[in-house]
Amino acid sequence: MEAEVAERFKEFKQNMADQCSSKVGMARLREELAAQFGQVYVKFAELESRLELKMTRLEANLIKWFVATSFALVSVTFAIARYVH
């Protein structure tokens, strides 16, 4: 297990040395990371807008349900009151 971890660490160090051996390599790595993070931010923004849309629809449906239930209860109450009196 330790030999495998040591081998992975050596590979990682070599890859980092290959990529970051010059300022150009560092700039390229920084540019790639920035592009990847930009894509992640776009995905989060899309997800957030879809969630807000779903929440708005759920809130609207809930309000409609409350109003319809209130009208139904008032109608039943008036119907009962008409027959009782």
pLDDT at 39 over 90: no
Average pLDDT of the segment spanning 5-27: 75
Q: What is the pLDDT of residue 14?
A: 80
pLDDT value, residue 48: 93
Please choose, from the candidates 16, 27, 32, 28, the residue with its C-alpha nearest in 3D space to the C-alpha of residue 40: 32
21 pLDDT tier (thresholds 50, 70, 90): low
- The secondary structure element, H or E, covering residue 74 is helix 23-84
Looking at residue 29, its pLDDT comes to 78
Q: Is the pLDDT of residue 1 over 70?
A: no
**Do the Cβ atoms of 12 and 2 come closer than 8 Å?**
no
